Amino acid sequence: MSTWLKVNSPVRTQPRLWVETIWLVESRDPLVLMRTINLHTGLNIVWAKESASNDATGLASAGHGVGKTSLCLLLRYVLGDDAPTITGLRNKAAGSFPKGGVAAKVHVDDDVWLVFRPYGSYSHSMASQCDELDSLLNGTAPNDFDGYGRALEQFSIGRFAARSLPGTNQPLEWRHLLAWCIREQRTRFDGFYHWREGEGLGFKRPRRDPPLLVGSVLGLVDQELDRLLRDIEAEQKQIEQHKERIPELERAPAFALAHADRQLRLRVRAGEDEPVFATTVGESVESRVQTALQAAERDESRWEQEVARAEDVLAEEQVRLLELIKARDRADLEVGIAKSLVDTNHADYERLTKLRERLQGLEGGRCDLGDIEFNACHYIQERKNAVSITWFQDGRHAKASNPELNRRYEDRKLAFEKLATAVLAQEKAITEQKAALRRLRVSIATSESARTFLKKSWDELQEQHTRRAQGGDTTELVEARKQLQKHETALGSLRANEVRRKSQQSSRVDALKALTAAVSTRILGAAGYARFVPEHEVRPFEVARGGEAYQVLEVLLGDIVCLLDSAMSDASNHPGFLVHDCPREADMSELLYREFFLAAAEAAEQLGKDGRVPFQFIVTTTSAPPPALQGERSVVLELEPSVEEKLLFRRELQPLLSSFE
């Protein structure tokens, strides 16, 4: 037996993930199985033979369209993938098998799950840790499809040092790793990190994130290194932000100066050709500013004088208004008294007379002349006693001469109306004077504000010219440069720590390098043609030859190395499960393809024990495998064009008819 792997013993007896059986279900109720595909650990070949008939031509003779890629899509489907490409296949399959679906027996770590996923959109997926497919489909076993999804996430991403990507904190998902484990034919195996064509895996950084995922899978990123990577990403972001900001801050003074100069010229109506500072002849921005400031001060002084005069006039007019109001109120009482005499209403007469006396200052208070209270003043008491006499006299007179009292009443009404009109006119005049006074004060405030702003603008323009002449930097620019230097120093320190941390993991890298050398030597027949480059973002597994065949070989070599490493190292988080869809058709030479198959088979033989192999490798091919691998042990399924029984679905799929599933 070949021993080119040179290993003592694998770290596990079976892959952490592998598929034991695939059932193509024609009908779930009643249960009709169309095809059962038994898989095993180790190498599994799905061979799409070229047609043995001489009548077959074109694609029908080349092993195309028989179901190789469909089988890979169904594997993705039972492993939780719901990509649009899978939906397209499901729609076609539902047209031929409206009650059908695909079922699988899946080993996830130490658990065994039976899974059923329907072709139709209106049926539900099912999964359970049970022994019989019938139990799952007839509902005897409890459906725990969500638990199955969680188990896939936990066994894969749950093992990582961190479940998110450094730099973006984007959560890692099982579908990201599954894309690597099941490579599709459409990518033509043109790059190690190129896993899907046209579907999109949702990586925020398609170039940087897949290498970080692979590093976590290979156990090259522990918690300490993950923390360093995140800190490095954070520092790099800060550095990029400051590098973007510093040129803006450097240009800002020139822009600010030009803007301030332009605004000030517009404000003082200075021409573009006028100098900023005063010269011996001609106008300048400075001279126009000083002229404007002086004119504003003169206007403000004049307006302040007008305000003072207006306030004096307003005070006099307000005194006059008070006098008019008192006179109007007295005239109003006189009208009432005259009316009470005409009406011979003694009660109104007394009430109104008292009001008139109170208005004249004869009720309450203190007499200034006698320096005594009004109720002790003989003069005031005589005036009050005269009311009755007056009423008696006026009453007799009223009886004797009623026309005279009516005339007096009309005269006093006319006098009241004149005084009321005078009060209204005075109030209007005072309102207008107040409005004019307010306008003067607003003019002063507006002028002061404009003058202050103009002076501030001029002072700032002078300061900017001075700073530019002296070549000094702004405070913001100085601080930004200081912060940039701080973050660059911190980044340098983190980079050094990263190098030290990775050097501490050199044994892990060395193991992968050694395994790469062993596998490449077996396939290429000589040592030194390939190497593992962990830091490379495009070609981590590098073959020192050119041409598309070697480009494809780099991808296959890298995948096989990672697959075998999962069986030989506890540090690896790789599930030990790999599917390749027709790498031969990606322009790989027949010789390399043969050696590739043989190397995979020999690895399974060296790592296997008691019929169990710690990895599962499924590969589809239209080219004949090496004769030694054409037996039933390696070839798990033979497909052939032009023979319906040997098509994956045993017939050509029909598109889904509308309103029927």
318 and 429 in a single domain? The answer is: yes
175 and 215 in a single domain? The answer is: yes
Percent of the chain with pLDDT over 70: 87
524 and 414 in a single domain? The answer is: no
Asked, for residue 290, whether it belongs to a domain, the answer is: no
Specify the pLDDT at position 501.
80
Confidence of residue 588 (pLDDT cuts 50, 70, 90): confident
The DSSP letter of residue 292 is: H
pLDDT (mean) for 192-200: 86
318 and 415 in a single domain? The answer is: yes
The DSSP letter of residue 162 is: -
pLDDT (mean) for 288-300: 93
| Own/partner pairs, 75-78, CB within 8 angstroms, 24+ separation | 75/19, 75/22, 75/104, 75/182, 75/579, 75/618, 76/178, 76/182, 77/102, 77/117, 78/19, 78/22, 78/102, 78/103, 78/104, 78/106, 78/115, 78/117
Q: At what angle do helices 285-342 and 378-400 cross, to 10 degrees?
A: 60
- Report the number of distinct structural domains present in the chain: 3
Specify the pLDDT at position 389.
45
Specify the pLDDT at position 185.
86
Confidence of residue 58 (pLDDT cuts 50, 70, 90): low
Asked, for residue 546, whether it belongs to a domain, the answer is: yes
477 and 416 in a single domain? The answer is: no
Confidence of residue 254 (pLDDT cuts 50, 70, 90): confident
Q: Domain containing 169 — which CATH number?
A: 3.40.50.300
Using one digit for the tens of pLDDT, what is the confidence trace for 440-490? Answer: 999 999 999 999 999 999 998 888 888 778 777 788 888 999 999 999 999
DSSP 295-331: HHHHHHHHHHHHHHHHHHHHHHHHHHHHHHHHHHHHH
Q: Three-class SS of residue 575? A: coil
Asked, for residue 156, whether it belongs to a domain, the answer is: yes
Asked, for residue 656, whether it belongs to a domain, the answer is: no
Q: How many residues does the chain have?
A: 661
Q: Three-class SS of residue 136? A: helix
Asked, for residue 285, whether it belongs to a domain, the answer is: no
User: Residue 48: beta bridge partners?
Assistant: 639
Confidence of residue 541 (pLDDT cuts 50, 70, 90): very high
Specify the pLDDT at position 353.
72
Using one digit for the tens of pLDDT, what is the confidence trace for 478-521? Answer: 899 999 999 999 999 998 988 888 777 788 899 999 999 999 99
444 and 515 in a single domain? The answer is: no
pLDDT (mean) for 185-189: 86
Confidence of residue 125 (pLDDT cuts 50, 70, 90): very high
515 and 485 in a single domain? The answer is: no
Q: Is the pLDDT of residue 660 over 50?
A: no
Distance from C-alpha of 537 to C-alpha of 52, rounded to nearest angstrom? 45
Asked, for residue 574, whether it belongs to a domain, the answer is: yes
Residue 167's Cβ-side half-sphere holds a number of Cα atoms within 13 Å equal to 14
635 and 557 in a single domain? The answer is: yes
Domain that holds residue 481: 233-268+473-497
Q: Is the pLDDT of residue 661 over 60?
A: no
The DSSP letter of residue 126 is: E
By mean pLDDT, which of 129-143, 306-320, 401-415, 620-634 is the weakest? Answer: 401-415
Question: In angstroms, how far apart are the furthest CA atoms of the chain?
Answer: 159
Encode burial over 349-374: b for 16+ CB neighbours within 10 A, e otherwise. Answer: beebbebbbeeeebeeeebeeeeeeb
329 and 417 in a single domain? The answer is: yes
Confidence of residue 362 (pLDDT cuts 50, 70, 90): very low
Confidence of residue 659 (pLDDT cuts 50, 70, 90): very low
The dihedral built from the CA positions of residue 124, 125, 130 and 135, taken in this order, carries a sign that is: positive
Highest mean pLDDT among 182-186, 411-415, 549-553: 182-186
482 and 410 in a single domain? The answer is: no
Confidence of residue 6 (pLDDT cuts 50, 70, 90): confident
Highest mean pLDDT among 41-55, 74-88, 161-175, 253-267: 74-88
CA distances from 45 to 11, 132, 186, 200, 592 (A): 25, 26, 19, 28, 17
394 and 527 in a single domain? The answer is: no
Q: Is the pLDDT of residue 566 over 60?
A: yes
- Do the bridges between strand 42-48 and strand 616-621 make them parallel or antiparallel, or are there none, so unpaired? parallel
pLDDT (mean) for 211-239: 88
Distance from C-alpha of 473 to C-alpha of 479, rounded to nearest angstrom? 10
Specify the pLDDT at position 296.
93
CA distances from 485 to 243, 480, 488, 490 (A): 10, 9, 5, 9
Asked, for residue 651, whether it belongs to a domain, the answer is: no
pTM of the complete model: 0.67
Asked, for residue 51, whether it belongs to a domain, the answer is: yes
| Residues 329/416, Cβ–Cβ less than 8 Å | no
- Do the bridges between strand 541-543 and strand 111-118 make them parallel or antiparallel, or are there none, so unpaired? unpaired
Using one digit for the tens of pLDDT, what is the confidence trace for 387-414? Answer: 444 545 555 555 555 787 788 888 888 9
Q: What is the mean pLDDT of the chain?
A: 86
| Own/partner pairs, 111-118, CB within 8 angstroms, 24+ separation | 111/151, 112/20, 113/148, 113/151, 114/141, 115/78, 115/145, 115/148, 116/25, 116/28, 117/77, 117/78, 118/28
Specify the pLDDT at position 388.
46
441 and 489 in a single domain? The answer is: no
Percent of the chain with pLDDT over 90: 52
Specify the pLDDT at position 352.
65
